[in-house]
């Protein structure tokens, strides 16, 4: 006869939402999802010292000796499940509910029974999809110890339970984000959606894109109006999403949309302003003008937007900075290529902009565009950093000399100087750009870099957040914000943000890289490897993915594979990614002499990590006396 043991325990009961219906529809798929759920859940139970009592189809019954362990385990299960679901179609996603109760259990032959088990199974259905519910008994043990809010949902009558039971709901970080997203959108945040090309020639598409950018630039000068940057709005080119959906994704309460038809020297532009909260049209206008009147059109549109939103007085008319309309149209084509940011497109953009500047040496925006194209070539590893000093800085300074009131020119010089390690002047230029145009995401972005470089990572967060607010679909701005959050121990928050990016850009290897980096901060190298694998399936020679692959190998005790990745990066024959990778991978391997050798080279080529003073990977490097010498040489505090 088996012996019974009675004890106090925290009991967790989990259940898959919609499992029965799915089994009737596709038994093979339902069984496959149960297998996925078990593979996902069991390592988490082990980390939190949960004893898996049994599984019942799609459900788990788990026992914990600590209520806090049970609550933390439940949160991690839901977080991991949510992240697992991000890249998957709905039919392949796992949706769980979790219930937790604390009370006496009776163990017999390895199984447990009693009121605690019954209560846990009864409150589990009260949890929402992806949620966790717990009883007052659990709450009393974990309040002020658990990091997330626990909100009472009142007393509940449960089946076969005599008295009402007070139930608490775990408030998930992503549910807070969802509530904020579905609140009323700020009408003074404006997005200019890509204008449709209605010309007979598809080749004129660059002109429609250029006019989109011109309107963004004009409207950015309105006081009290937040204008979403070009990088983010161009993601909606040729899309048919509803205005309210676009507004939510961009956090913009007002949208400007329209079309462009160009024929010879004539241009017809149709525009309408929409309230994204109500889908009401605020105004509409058609412009049928000569090509050289486009600047007057921009002035009129800005005035109308200002009057409609009462955003403040317009900063003044838009002045043409070139009289050569052929140079202007070539400039628009070049900028479209520059924003594409592939190696081929950037090099073609540079070639076109050199021609434009030769035609009109006083064309300020062309010089700014040329300078920023040089910056992109260098920072993406397509050219050595000498191009910054030799060419990018020259163009930015020339643009400022031609027009000291150009916020874009000051922002371009700020970015260039930051990468050249001229931090003090870089900050001054960024602050000047923001003074001239408070909607300059590049200026805030550069200020974030400067603060993080000096070791003030918490202050850098506010600048990175502002840059992403103005450019909410920018992968690069999301990446640096995620890195700063990881340094601050906030990888969960980073992954919520990156999950949105992954849903929008599932084919962009950089987004998979970002998710991998967030798990490296958490030392979860197995999960980081999963995301690296997905990114490399899209681009097997993406330099930053190769660097992080080598880093994971080094941190995971696989030094030979890490060195093999260094060899692979060397085969690319690009000094910039190679030096950068050596700083990371040699540090992770504990080979400080080699790491400092690479770091000393980087001081000459300006390719050292901007977060070297704060990233946990470099903790040992910072203890070495040679690091103080590096800081003195770079002019940053030690």
Confidence (pLDDT) at 345: 81
Strand partners, 101: 11
337 has a pLDDT exceeding 60: yes
Cβ contacts of residue 353 below 8 Å, gap of 6+?
Answer: 331, 334, 338, 366, 369, 370, 373
Q: What one-character-per-residue DSSP string does 553-612 give?
A: HHHTT-HHHHHHHHHHHHHTT-HHHHHHHHHHHHHHHT-HHHHHHHHHHHHHHT-S-TTT
* CATH number of the structural domain spanning residue 165: 3.30.70.1230
Cα–Cα separations (whole angstroms), residue 526 to 349, 405, 533, 555, 605: 40, 51, 11, 11, 34
Residue 288 lies in a domain: yes
Nearest residue to 152 via CA among 135, 137, 164:
135
399 has a pLDDT exceeding 90: yes
Sign of CA dihedral 27, 30, 35, 36: positive
Do the Cβ atoms of 54 and 111 come closer than 8 Å?
yes
pLDDT higher at 616 or 25:
616
Domain match, 230 and 168 both = no
Lowest mean pLDDT among 52-61, 150-159, 461-470, 501-510: 501-510
Residue 81 lies in a domain: yes
Confidence (pLDDT) at 338: 77
Please compute the mean of the pLDDT values over residues 105-130 and round it to a whole number: 85
482 has a pLDDT exceeding 80: yes
Domain residue limits at 249: 189-318
Do the Cβ atoms of 233 and 194 come closer than 8 Å?
yes
Lowest mean pLDDT among 117-121, 295-299, 480-484, 584-588: 295-299
Domain match, 35 and 169 both = yes
pLDDT higher at 171 or 370:
370
313 has a pLDDT exceeding 60: no
Domain match, 209 and 258 both = yes
Domain match, 282 and 303 both = yes
Lowest mean pLDDT among 22-26, 114-118, 542-546, 559-563: 22-26
Domain match, 301 and 165 both = no
Confidence (pLDDT) at 308: 65
Domain match, 147 and 196 both = no
pLDDT tens digits, residue range 3-32? 567 888 999 999 988 777 777 677 888 888
Q: Give residue 394's pLDDT band: very low, low, confident or very high (50, 70, 90).
A: very high
Confidence (pLDDT) at 3: 59
Please compute the mean of the pLDDT values over residues 583-610 and round it to a whole number: 93
pLDDT higher at 77 or 276:
77
Residue 624 lies in a domain: yes
Residue 633 lies in a domain: yes
pLDDT higher at 518 or 116:
518
Domain match, 13 and 152 both = yes
Lowest mean pLDDT among 96-105, 175-184, 212-221, 518-527: 175-184
Please compute the mean of the pLDDT values over residues 383-387 and round it to a whole number: 82
pLDDT tens digits, residue range 575-593? 778 898 999 999 999 999 9
Residue 501 lies in a domain: no
Confidence (pLDDT) at 320: 64
pLDDT tens digits, residue range 134-151? 999 999 999 878 878 888
Domain match, 151 and 35 both = yes
Domain match, 35 and 114 both = yes
Q: Given 318, 346, 369, which residue is the final one in a domain?
A: 318
Q: Give residue 114's pLDDT band: very low, low, confident or very high (50, 70, 90).
A: confident
Confidence (pLDDT) at 314: 44
Do the Cβ atoms of 614 and 458 come closer than 8 Å?
no
Domain count, the chain: 3
Q: Given 180, 197, 224, which residue is the final one in a domain?
A: 180
Q: Give residue 179's pLDDT band: very low, low, confident or very high (50, 70, 90).
A: very low
Confidence (pLDDT) at 487: 95
Confidence (pLDDT) at 207: 76
2 has a pLDDT exceeding 60: no
Domain match, 134 and 195 both = no
Residue 481 lies in a domain: no
Cβ contacts of residue 606 below 8 Å, gap of 6+?
Answer: 385, 388, 419, 420, 421
Q: Given 180, 211, 226, which residue is the final one in a domain?
A: 180
Confidence (pLDDT) at 374: 92
Q: What is the pTM for the complete model shown?
A: 0.64
Residue 464 lies in a domain: no
pLDDT higher at 397 or 338:
397
Domain match, 172 and 284 both = no
Domain match, 82 and 226 both = no
Confidence (pLDDT) at 10: 93
Q: What is the mean pLDDT of the chain?
A: 85
Residue 234 lies in a domain: yes
pLDDT above 90 as % of the chain: 40
pLDDT tens digits, residue range 234-273? 777 776 677 777 888 888 888 888 888 877 778 888 888 8
Q: Which residue has the tokens 């429609």?
A: 208
CA atoms of 86 and 20, how far apart (whole Å): 23
pLDDT tens digits, residue range 517-535? 999 999 999 999 999 999 8
Q: Which residue has the tokens 């300006």?
A: 606
Q: Give residue 296's pLDDT band: very low, low, confident or very high (50, 70, 90).
A: confident
Helices (H), 380-490: 386-387, 393-402, 407-419, 423-436, 441-453, 457-470, 475-487
């Amino acid at each position: 006869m088996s012996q019974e043991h009675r004890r106090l325990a925290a009991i967790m009961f989990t259940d898959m939402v919609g499992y029965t219906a799915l089994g009737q529809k596709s038994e093979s798929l339902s069984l496959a999802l149960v297998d996925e759920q078990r593979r996902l859940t069991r390592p988490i139970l082990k980390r939190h010292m949960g004893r898996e009592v049994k599984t019942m189809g799609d459900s788990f019954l788990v026992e914990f000796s600590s209520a806090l362990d049970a609550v933390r385990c439940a949160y991690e299960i839901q977080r991991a499940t949510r992240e697992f679901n991000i890249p998957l179609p709905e039919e392949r996603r796992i949706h769980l509910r979790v219930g937790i109760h604390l009370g006496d259990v009776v163990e017999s032959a390895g199984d447990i029974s009693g009121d605690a088990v019954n209560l846990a199974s009864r409150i589990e259905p009260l949890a929402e999809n992806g949620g966790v519910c717990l009883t007052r008994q659990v709450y009393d043990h974990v309040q002020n110890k658990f990091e997330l809010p626990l909100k009472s949902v009142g007393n509940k009558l449960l089946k076969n339970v005599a008295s009402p039971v007070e139930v608490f709901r775990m408030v998930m970080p992503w549910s807070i984000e969802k509530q904020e997203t579905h609140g009323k959108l700020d009408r003074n945040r404006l997005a200019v959606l890509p204008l449709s090309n209605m010309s007979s020639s598809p080749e004129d598409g660059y002109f429609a894109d250029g006019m989109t950018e011109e309107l963004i630039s004009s409207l950015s000068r309105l006081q009290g109006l937040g204008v979403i940057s070009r990088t983010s709005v161009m993601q909606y080119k040729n899309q048919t999403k509803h205005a309210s959906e676009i507004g939510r994704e961009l956090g913009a309460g007002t949208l400007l949309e329209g079309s462009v038809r160009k024929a010879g020297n004539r241009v017809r532009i149709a525009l309408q302003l929409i309230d994204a909260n109500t889908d009401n049209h605020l105004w509409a206008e058609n412009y049928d003008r000569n090509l050289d009147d486009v600047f007057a059109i921009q002035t009129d549109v800005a005035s109308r937007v200002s009057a409609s939103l009462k955003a403040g007085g317009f900063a003044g008319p838009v002045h043409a900075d070139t009289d050569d309309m052929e140079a202007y149209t070539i400039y628009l084509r070049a900028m479209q290529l520059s924003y594409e940011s592939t190696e081929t497109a950037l090099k073609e953009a540079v070639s076109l902009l050199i021609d434009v500047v030769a035609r009109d040496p006083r064309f300020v925006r062309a010089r700014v565009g040329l300078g920023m194209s040089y910056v992109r070539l260098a920072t993406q590893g397509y050219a050595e950093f000498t191009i910054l000093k030799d060419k990018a800085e020259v163009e930015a300074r020339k643009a400022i000399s031609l027009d000291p009131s150009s916020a874009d020119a000051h922002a371009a010089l700020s970015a260039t100087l930051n990468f050249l390690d001229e931090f003090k002047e870089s900050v001054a230029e960024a602050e000047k750009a923001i003074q001239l145009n408070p909607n300059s995401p590049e200026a805030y972005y550069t200020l974030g870099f400067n603060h993080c470089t000096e070791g003030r990572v918490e202050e850098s967060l506010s600048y990175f957040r502002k840059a992403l607010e103005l450019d909410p679909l920018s992968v690069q701005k999301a990446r640096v914000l995620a890195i700063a959050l990881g340094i601050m121990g906030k990888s969960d928050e980073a992954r919520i943000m990156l999950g949105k990016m992954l849903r929008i850009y599932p084919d962009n290897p950089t987004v998979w890289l970002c998710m991998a980096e967030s798990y490296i901060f958490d030392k979860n190298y197995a999960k980081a490897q999963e995301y690296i694998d997905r990114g490399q399936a899209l681009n097997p020679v993406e330099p930053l993915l190769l660097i992080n692959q080598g880093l994971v190998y080094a941190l995971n005790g696989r030094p030979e594979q890490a060195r093999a990745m260094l060899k692979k990066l060397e085969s690319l024959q690009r000094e910039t990614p190679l030096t950068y990778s050596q700083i990371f991978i040699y540090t992770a391997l504990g080979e400080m002499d080699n790491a400092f050798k690479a770091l000393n080279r980087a001081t000459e080529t300006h390719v050292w990590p901007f977060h070297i003073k704060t990233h946990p990977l470099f903790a040992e490097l910072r203890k070495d006396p040679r690091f103080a010498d590096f800081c003195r040489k770079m002019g940053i505090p030690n």
